[in-house]
Structure 1
Amino acid sequence: MARILIIDDDRAICKLISSVADRLGHTAQYTTDLERARTILQNQQFEIIFLDVKMPDGNGLDLLPQIKSSAVVPEVIIITGYWDSNGAELAFKSGVWDYLEKPITVNALTLQITRAALYHSEKTIHTTPVFLKRDQIIGTSPELKTALIQAALVCQSTVNVLITGETGTGKELFARTIHSNSSRSEMDFVVVDCTSLPETLAESILFGHEKGVYTGAVNARDGLFKMADGGTLFLDEIGELPLNMQKTFLRVIQEQNFRPLGSKTEIKSDFRLIAATNKNLEKMVDAGSFRKDLFFRLQTFTINLPPLRHRPDDVKDLIKFYVQKLCQENKIETKELSPDFMDVLLSYDWPGNVREVFNTLDSVFTVAFSEQTLFSQHLPATIRIKTKQLQQQKPLEDEIKKWPHIQKPLLRIPTFTNHKDTSERHYLKEVLEATQGNIQEACSITGLSRSRFYALLKKHRLPTKGKNS
């Protein structure tokens, strides 16, 4: 029996799904707003969730991170009356079970619930917890957790892995983590940097060569493919590989055989392949700049690393981790992080991702090596300017509260008399504006006598001449 939650503002749909679920022996409840759904998800566990996209109080897809952070991750079925290819792509990349367009028939619902419930129960029974050594991967966000779960799963096999993501998201770090958690961890992790592979020397670097095969080849030398035998071969930024070299790579990946330069025999290398790219290989295939057969060979299992702007909760952990690391490496006392320093770093959108965070902190340490506390003044001007442009001005009181040693008198709270006078003057100005200076009308509105009204105008140095004055 599965517990099912339906999140949809259409009560008719909710009742239909509930009815089908009940007939199949499951229990279902529904809610018609996202805020209520958030509360329910905090307090209850579900095996299946039906989720509408366009809700009166927001986008249903915004709930996916909270859903994916559940102790028992449910199967999510998106239901929408407005098909959106971009939304469908985002949903599937987030690991949803299916993406359905309304209207939905009873037969379709029956099939979806039956399949999802069976899949979830078998997944729960047969999935054993995998302990992933992830010393250098910092963060606890649901987005990062999804990628880590995928990495943990693929560690148990030898299939090819393609890691995608923007520059600086940690693709090589994930590849090394997969290697160190696999059965090949005792063997070599060999990196092929496809961005700096010279075409004239590529075959020698990759395949190796025999002694004397060309001028300068004093000794025989193993290539990178041979060095990866028994271990992992990591093709970094595979999207940069020239088209004329992709065919060579394809054959070696398929056969795991190659011939060193000058050799008459082929050599076998039993390597596990992991590739990474910050490019959209599918679009490159359509454009004719990347081989389709190589693309299909690479994408046996794909892990997409989210950019740092999509997991802001991890930024603080990354900063604290790296500051402590720098202090330990330099054998100095751990530095304090001032509130304004953290505010700027947490407000920045980090287009360069994790790599930019670490590079920025390296720069900060150069500037503030001898200082105990890090302030926003120590940060690069480009970051401070950009965050200043993005930030809304916050009340002075909110900023001061972040500094515990600043006492309340510095908040400059006005005395009761001054506050009363300020409010009184503001009130009188509004009355004059509303009546266009008509004293008789102003007195009628305020309930004050003419003499009292004039006295107040004089006290606050407001114009005393007006209509009917």
Structure 2
Amino acid sequence: MAQVLIIDDDVQLCKALAMVISDMGHKVDVANYLVQGVDMARKGKYDLVILDIGLPDGSGLDSLAEIRDGRSRPEVIILSASSDPDGAELAIRSGAWSYIPKPPTLSKIKLPVSRAIEYRRQKLSRIAARDLKRDAIVGQSKALNTCLEMLAQAADTDANVLITGETGTGKELLARITHQNSRKSDMPFVVVDCAALPENLVESTLFGHERGAFTGADRRQDGLIRQADGGTLFLDEIGELPLAVQKSFLRVVQERRFRPVGSEHEVTSNFRLIAATNRDLDAMVASWDFRQDLLFRIRTISVRVPPLRERTGDVRLLTDHFLKRAIARDNGTEKECSPDFRDMLEKYQWPGNVRELSNAVENALARSGEERTLLPRHLPMDIRVHMARQTLSANADTAAADTTLDASNFPLFKDFREQVVGELEQKYLRDLFQTARGNVQQACTLSGLSRARLYALLKKHGLTRKNLYTPE
């Protein structure tokens, strides 16, 4: 018996659906408002949620992700009174099981309900029967765990897998995890960096060559595809694979057969294909930069790696992991992270993702020298500059919003601007001397100001080092 939640403001429809689903042997709860339904999905143990789009207090689509991230991560079927192709696409891309127009007939609702519940049952049994070996993966966020669930499913098959994600998210690591959890884990894992393939030796590198096939080919050489026989072939940044080679590679993916350069005979390689890219392959297909038939072949299973900014809570875990690893590697002394150091790491958006965080932690460790506590000033300059600019922009918005202009005595723009800029400059100087711990030379280094310009600003605002920083 499954637990089903219906979120719809049509009371009569809810009663009819509840009766049908109850007759199928499942327990049903009903919510007539979105906020009520979201709260029930977040707290309850539901296997399936049937969600209306047009609710009195909001759109079901806007809360779809929150419902799917609820306590039991239920499957979701969308109901809609309008025939909206864009809404249907958004629902499916957001993870809905299916999209059904209103009013649903018994046959239209019973079949997707039974299939969604059965799919969920099988998925849960697979997860329970087999834990993913993930020793190298650090993080416990919902976004990461969703990705790992997809990897666990991919590892159970020999189907082609396409891993997508921004630069620095760890796509190669996840490809290795997939291989290590597969039936081919004891066989080779061969990496092909498509972005680094020599343009004039692409086919030779992939397919191999016979002796004398071209100038410099003084001996026979197996290509990377042949080396992956029985194991996994990982094509990193497949979006960089030259268009001329894509046609040849398509046949390899289809038949696992190819002809080495200069050979009269075909050879086979029984590999499992995993590809990764940080590019939009659908957009590349539209611009004729990537073959659509090849995309269809490599995307049997698609796994999206979330960027670090979506992995709530993982920055702290990753920071501790990278810090511990670097200290152990260099036989260094233990160090702790100050609260403001962690706060800056949490607030930064990490465009370079996990790779950038790893480099930032190592940079901070090196810059801290003999100091036992890591502070914001130990972080790379570009991160500190970015966060300073972001803070000032936010403060400027707040200052503008908090300034009440009196119509009877409206200030000149020049005077208003000087007032707001002056307040921000004072805030900047206070933060600067706190970070520099009252050291003028350090303040000049952090701010890029000359000593003369710094003293001029202090004099302008009637500030001194003593009233800007007091040692603890």
Q: Deviations over 1:144-171 (max 9, x none)?
A: 1111111111112211111111222211
Q: Which one-letter code corresponds to 2:185 in the other structure?
A: S
Residue 238 of structure 1 deviates from its aligned partner by 0.9
Counterpart contact for 2:44–2:71, Cα < 8 Å: no
Identity over the aligned pairs, expressed in percent?
47
Taking the TM superposition and a 5 Å limit, the aligned residue runs for 1:374-385 are 374-385=374-385
Residue 35 of structure 1 deviates from its aligned partner by 4.6
Q: Deviations over 1:309-357 (max 9, x none)?
A: 2223222222221122111111123321111111111111222222222
Q: Structure 1 residues 190 and 7 mapped into 2: Cα distance closer, same or farther (>3 Å)?
A: same
Residue 113 of structure 1 deviates from its aligned partner by 2.7
CA distance in 1, matches of 2:126, 2:186: 28
Residue 292 of structure 1 deviates from its aligned partner by 1.7
CA distance in 2, matches of 1:348, 1:183: 40
CA distance in 1, matches of 2:126, 2:309: 35
Residue 34 of structure 1 deviates from its aligned partner by 4.8
| Unaligned segments of structure 2, at least 5 residues | 399-426, 428-472
Partner of 2:464: none
Partner SS, residue 303 of structure 1: strand
Q: Which one-letter code corresponds to 2:277 in the other structure?
A: T
Worse overlay, 267-276 or 64-73: 64-73
Partner of 1:249: 249
Partner of 2:6: 6
Taking the TM superposition and a 5 Å limit, the aligned residue runs for 1:207-356 are 207-356=207-356
Count of matched residue pairs = 395
Partner of 1:362: 362
CA distance in 1, matches of 2:32, 2:80: 14
Q: Which one-letter code corresponds to 1:265 in the other structure?
A: H
Partner of 2:169: 169
Partner of 1:424: none
CA distance in 2, matches of 1:44, 1:325: 39
Q: Deviations over 1:389-414 (max 9, x none)?
A: 445569x9xxxxxxxxxxxxxxxxxx
Residue 245 of structure 1 deviates from its aligned partner by 1.1
Worse overlay, 219-228 or 10-19: 10-19
Partner SS, residue 129 of structure 2: coil
CA distance in 2, matches of 1:257, 1:303: 26
Counterpart contact for 1:6–1:30, Cα < 8 Å: yes
CA distance in 2, matches of 1:199, 1:256: 23
Q: Structure 1 residues 346 and 80 mapped into 2: Cα distance closer, same or farther (>3 Å)?
A: farther
Residue 60 of structure 1 deviates from its aligned partner by 4.2
Normalising by structure 2, we get a TM-score of 0.75
Q: Structure 1 residues 327 and 238 mapped into 2: Cα distance closer, same or farther (>3 Å)?
A: same
Worse overlay, 28-37 or 303-312: 28-37
Counterpart contact for 1:312–1:346, Cα < 8 Å: no
Greater gyration radius: 1
Partner SS, residue 166 of structure 1: coil
Counterpart contact for 2:246–2:294, Cα < 8 Å: yes
Q: Which one-letter code corresponds to 1:360 in the other structure?
A: A
Taking the TM superposition and a 5 Å limit, the aligned residue runs for 1:348-427 are 348-390=348-390
Q: Structure 1 residues 231 and 10 mapped into 2: Cα distance closer, same or farther (>3 Å)?
A: same
| Unaligned segments of structure 1, at least 5 residues | 397-469
Worse overlay, 58-67 or 175-184: 58-67
Partner of 1:132: 132
Residue 273 of structure 1 deviates from its aligned partner by 0.8
Worse overlay, 353-362 or 213-222: 213-222
- Residue 74 in 1 paired to residue 71 in 2? no
CA distance in 2, matches of 1:312, 1:84: 33
Q: Structure 1 residues 80 and 300 mapped into 2: Cα distance closer, same or farther (>3 Å)?
A: same
Worse overlay, 116-125 or 238-247: 116-125
Counterpart contact for 1:68–1:142, Cα < 8 Å: no
Counterpart contact for 1:167–1:278, Cα < 8 Å: yes
Counterpart contact for 1:65–1:143, Cα < 8 Å: no
Residue 10 of structure 1 deviates from its aligned partner by 5.0
Partner SS, residue 29 of structure 1: strand
Partner of 2:20: 20
Q: Structure 1 residues 259 and 60 mapped into 2: Cα distance closer, same or farther (>3 Å)?
A: same
Q: Which one-letter code corresponds to 1:383 in the other structure?
A: I
Q: Which one-letter code corresponds to 1:321 in the other structure?
A: H
Partner SS, residue 201 of structure 1: helix
CA distance in 1, matches of 2:85, 2:366: 47
Q: Structure 1 residues 157 and 5 mapped into 2: Cα distance closer, same or farther (>3 Å)?
A: same
Q: Structure 1 residues 87 and 368 mapped into 2: Cα distance closer, same or farther (>3 Å)?
A: farther
Counterpart contact for 2:191–2:233, Cα < 8 Å: yes
Normalising by structure 1, we get a TM-score of 0.75
Residue 6 of structure 1 deviates from its aligned partner by 2.1
Taking the TM superposition and a 5 Å limit, the aligned residue runs for 1:197-212 are 197-212=197-212
Residue 111 of structure 1 deviates from its aligned partner by 3.6
Counterpart contact for 1:164–1:276, Cα < 8 Å: yes
CA distance in 2, matches of 1:388, 1:14: 53
Partner of 2:463: none
Residue 210 of structure 1 deviates from its aligned partner by 2.8
Q: Structure 1 residues 386 and 81 mapped into 2: Cα distance closer, same or farther (>3 Å)?
A: farther
Counterpart contact for 1:4–1:27, Cα < 8 Å: yes
RMSD of aligned Cα (Å): 2.9
Q: Which one-letter code corresponds to 1:334 in the other structure?
A: E
Counterpart contact for 1:8–1:33, Cα < 8 Å: yes
Partner SS, residue 185 of structure 1: coil
Partner of 1:191: 191
- Residue 112 in 1 paired to residue 101 in 2? no
CA distance in 1, matches of 2:173, 2:148: 12
CA distance in 2, matches of 1:319, 1:364: 11
Q: Structure 1 residues 27 and 261 mapped into 2: Cα distance closer, same or farther (>3 Å)?
A: closer
Partner of 2:100: 100
